[in-house]
Structure 1
Amino acid sequence: MARPIVLYDQTNTRNIRTRSVINPTYKKAVVPPTTAPAAPPSTPKSLQPYEKFLVLDVEATCHRGTSFDFPNEIIEFPVSLLQWKDRTENCHASQLEVVGEFRSFVRPTWKPTLSQFCKDLTGITQEQVDIAPTFPEVLARFHKFLVKHGLVDEQTGERRVRFCWCSDGPFDVRDFVVKQCFISNIPIPHWLRGDILDVRLAVNYWLGVQALQRPESGPRDFPRRRSLNIPSQLEVLGLPVFEGRQHCGIDDTRNLAKIVTELARRGVCLLPNTAIEPYRRWQWMGKRGQILEEYCNPQVFR
C-alpha cells in the first residue's frame, strides 16, 4: 500500500508524525513535468485530523504599482466549505465535497472609489461595492453561515469542530484579513485565527515528493519552490482548466476547492503549513484603525 503524503502541522497535532522534505542547501533543481502522473486507481485513505475546510480567496482594492505593503481593503469575501464524504471513525479519508458557499461584496470605507486598474483586474464594479455591506457586517453574516453549518458556537464564536482555512498562498489571511480588521478597527474573530493551509505550497510539496519517488531520482532532485498560480496548479494535477474568470474571488475559490479535493484524493494529509501573525503591523498603521497616508505610496492618489 502506498504511503500517504504528509505535510507539516504547526499546531503540533497529537499522534501525527510529520517531517520536512525540503533541504535548502540543494543547488540544482529538476523542473516538474507540466502534467503530473495520474494518481493510483485506488488511493489509500490518509489520516485526516481536520473535519472541514474553509477555502478563501478574497479580492481587495489595488492600484497599479502597489505592493502588499499597501493598505488594501477587502471588496469580495468568498468561501467554499468542504467536508469529508468518507471519513472513518479513526479519522482516515480521501474524498471531499463542497457542502456550502458564502459570497459577499464588501464596501471599502477608507478609499471607497475603486481604481480603474482594480475594476479591470477583478471585474468588480463600483456599483457592486457601493451597495455592499461593510466588512464588520460581512463578518457578522459569515458568522451565521458558520453557525448554520455547525462550525462555531452561536453565542461564543468558539469552534465546535476542527476546521482549517485554505488559501492560495498566505496573502489572503496574512495580509488582507489582518489589514482589513485593523482598518475596520475590530479584533480578528477567534474562528479566523490560527495557521492556514497554503494550497500553493502544498501542491509544490506534492510535486517534490513525486520527483523523489521516481526510480532514477536522488535527494538533489527535489525541485525548488515555484510560485504556481491556480491555473498552473490545476495543470500539474491533471485537472480541467480554470473555470470562470481569474481574479473573480468566487471563481478563484471554486477552482482552489477542486485542487484541495484532488490533493486529498491523491493521499495528501491536509494540515496547516503557514503561520499567520494576527498582530502584524505595517508602517502606515497608526492608532485604532488610523491610516497614516504619508507612509502610503503617494503616486496612487495623484
Structure 2
Amino acid sequence: MAHRLLRSNLSKINRLTSVKKSESVAVKQTFEYLLIIDFEATCQKDEALKPQEIIEFPCLAVSTTTWEVKDVFHEYIRPQVHPVLTTYCTKLTGIIQEMTDQSQHFPDTFLNFQRWLHKSGYLENGKSTFVTCGDWDLGVMLPEQCAISQIPIPKYFNEWINLKDTFRHATAYHPRSLKDMLKHLNLPLCGHLHSGIDDTNNMARIIQLLGTKYQTDFRVTSVAR
C-alpha cells in the first residue's frame, strides 16, 4: 500500500530534488543508477533495544544521467519481536502503530524489494549500487534483521557507497550526519529527520549537487566483512 502511494508521489519528489539542466555536468559514472536506502528501526530512549527490527524500508532509484529520481520503493514493516512501537520511536521516526500493524513482516517486504529490483533491471550487468548514509543500514541492520528472520542476504548487498565517505572526498569536509551534509551545502532539510523516505529524499538532493556542482564520481566505498 505504501509503495503504491509513494510511486504516485514520484513527480513531487522530483520537484523537490530536481536540478536545473544548466547546472548539470556530464561526468562519466561507474553506475547508471544509485539506489538510496535508509532504514528506520525499532528503538527506545536511553537504552539499546535488542533486537532492533527494521520498520521502514525506502529506496530511491536516482539516474546518474539526469540526477532525477526515476522510481521509488517504500514499505513499512510489522516487527515480530517487539510489535508495539515505543513512544520514543514514534516521536523520532514519525511512524505510528497503525502503519506497522497494517504492514507485512520483513521477509515479505524483502521479497517485494528484490522483485522490484529485478523487474526494474537495476541489477543487470552491475549498473547500480546501493547508497547509504554511513555503514549501519547494510553493514549492521540488514544482517541482524536477516538473522532474526532466518533468511539469506543476496550477494549484491555486500557492497555499497557510504555517502559520508563520498562527501568527504568531494568536498574535503568530514560530515558528522545527514543534517551536517545538508548544512554544509546550504540545503534546507525537507520533511522529518529520521523518517526513512524523507531521509532518502534529502540524500538524493545531496547526491544531485555532488554529481553536478562537484562533478563527483560515485564509486563503492564499503564492503561487507
TM-score (norm 2): 0.83
The 1-side partners of 2:38 and 2:161 are apart by 12
Structure 1 gaps of 5+ residues are: 1-40, 86-94, 153-158, 209-222, 278-302
> Are 1:269 and 2:214 matched, yes or no?
no
Between stretches 99-108 and 45-54, larger displacement belongs to: 45-54
Preserved contact between residue 29 and residue 64 of structure 2 (Cα < 8 Å) = no
* CA deviation map 1:130-169 (0-9, x unaligned): 12111110011112221231124xxxxxx44421100111
> Are 1:197 and 2:161 matched, yes or no?
yes
Give secondary structure in 1 for the equivalent of 2:145: helix
The 1-side partners of 2:126 and 2:138 are apart by 20
Give secondary structure in 1 for the equivalent of 2:211: helix
Cα separation, partners in 2 of 1:43 and 1:127, compared to 1, 3 Å? closer
Cα separation, partners in 2 of 1:83 and 1:171, compared to 1, 3 Å? same
Matched ranges for 1:200-279 at <5 A: 200-208=164-172, 225-227=174-176, 229-239=177-187, 241-265=188-212, 266-277=214-225
Q: In the alignment, residue 41 of structure 2 is paired with which amino acid?
A: A
1:75 maps to 55
Preserved contact between residue 192 and residue 198 of structure 2 (Cα < 8 Å) = yes
**CA drift at 1:242:** 1.0
Flag as ranges the 4+ runs of structure 1 deviating above 6 A.
Answer: none
**CA drift at 1:261:** 1.5
**CA drift at 1:201:** 2.1
Which of residues 102, 106, 126 is equivalent to 2:73? 102
1:66 maps to 47
Structure 2 gaps of 5+ residues are: 1-21
**CA drift at 1:42:** 6.7
Cα separation, partners in 2 of 1:75 and 1:43, compared to 1, 3 Å? closer
Preserved contact between residue 150 and residue 160 of structure 1 (Cα < 8 Å) = no
RMSD of the TM alignment (CA)? 2.0
Give secondary structure in 2 for the equivalent of 1:46: coil
2:136 maps to 171
Preserved contact between residue 167 and residue 175 of structure 2 (Cα < 8 Å) = no
Q: Percent identity?
A: 30
| CA radius of gyration, larger in | 1
The 2-side partners of 1:177 and 1:66 are apart by 20
TM-score (norm 1): 0.63
Q: In the alignment, residue 146 of structure 1 is paired with which amino acid?
A: L
The 2-side partners of 1:110 and 1:188 are apart by 20
Cα separation, partners in 2 of 1:83 and 1:43, compared to 1, 3 Å? closer
2:34 maps to 53
2:10 maps to none
Preserved contact between residue 196 and residue 274 of structure 1 (Cα < 8 Å) = yes
**CA drift at 1:121:** 0.7
**CA drift at 1:70:** 4.2
1:122 maps to 93
**CA drift at 1:113:** 1.3
The 2-side partners of 1:96 and 1:80 are apart by 12
Preserved contact between residue 166 and residue 198 of structure 1 (Cα < 8 Å) = yes
**CA drift at 1:194:** 2.4
* CA deviation map 1:153-208 (0-9, x unaligned): xxxxxx444211001111111111111000000001233x2221111222122221
**Whose helix proportion is higher, 1 or 2?**
2
